[in-house]
Amino acid sequence: MIPIYRCPTYSGPDHSTDRIYTRFAPDYAIGNYVAMGASDVGHIYGQNSGLFDPDGTMFPLARTKTADLRDGLSNTVMIVETRESKTTVWIDGGTAAVVALRFDSTNPPTYAGLEHALNYEPYFSYSNPVSQYGPSSMHVGGAQHLFGDGSVRFIVDQIDSALYASLATRAGGETIPGDF
């Protein structure tokens, strides 16, 4: 366990119980911070849909540079808090990227739901009834987000879905209001 990888309000398990980890070792520690990989699942894991064009900052095989964040460092989320207790072990950066819009299997190729994923449950269900959390926390009303400029902001659950997705992109060209 590395305390800095854990939110003080997190009250979930210390170690993952998911088979993808327990088959190797019983003690992969949970971390509460993950990369904001893209606006939607199709833009981060859409290799099979032909859409693989991640629009976020950190995702598997990323080579994103600061200069690539054309929306501005203060308008781009890099890291987000999560209360996921199964698949966000801090040692596995390959699976530790989430997206801004909830997963909707009926909406290919982006698989984006209309709602933002912040504290949305289930964010993604990979084997019923097991569901995963995406951007989330055990704080009331929102979660902490780290931006490219190093600032940390508490974003509330009531944020507009389109605005939240815009904060996840690195070069979408969206207009971000200063008081979000």
pLDDT digits (tens, 9 = 90+) for 88-125: 887 766 566 889 999 888 998 888 999 999 998 876 66
**pLDDT on residue 96:** 65
Distances, alpha carbon 19 to alpha carbons 83, 91, 157, in Å? 18, 15, 31
CA distances from 59 to 64, 93, 95 (A): 9, 9, 8
68 SS3 class: helix
* pLDDT at residue 94, as a whole number: 57
Residues 66-71 have a mean pLDDT of 94
Strand-pair category, 77-81 with 112-116: unpaired
> Which band of pLDDT confidence, cut at 50, 70 and 90, is reported for residue 163?
very high
Q: Is residue 176 part of a domain?
A: no
Range of 25-29, 62-66, 126-130, 135-139 with top mean pLDDT = 135-139
Q: Is residue 174 part of a domain?
A: no
Is residue 56 in some structural domain?
Answer: yes
Domain tally for the chain? Answer: 1
CB 131 within 8 A of CB 124: yes
Position with higher pLDDT, 20 vs 45: 20
Calculate mean pLDDT across residues 38-65: 76
DSSP state of 141: T
Mean residue pLDDT across the chain: 86
pLDDT tier, 46 (very low <50, low <70, confident <90, very high otherwise): low
Domain membership flag for residue 179 = no
For residue 180, give Cα distances in angstroms to 74, 163, 167: 12, 8, 10
Mean pLDDT computed over 56-79:
91
In this prediction, residue 48 carries a pLDDT of: 52
Nearest to 80 by CA among 126, 26, 123, 127: 123
Instruction: Note the pLDDT of residue 26.
Output: 80
Q: Which amino acid is at 138?
A: M
As a whole number of angstroms, the distance between CA 55 and CA 38 comes to 5
* Domain of 32, in residue numbers: 3-168
β-strands 124-127, 130-132 pairing: antiparallel
pLDDT-derived band at 134, boundaries 50, 70, 90:
confident
Q: What is the pLDDT of residue 100?
A: 95
Is 180 within the bounds of a domain? Answer: no
Terminal Cα distance for the chain, rounded: 34
For residues 5 and 41, give the distance between their C-alpha atoms in angstroms, rounded to a whole number. 24
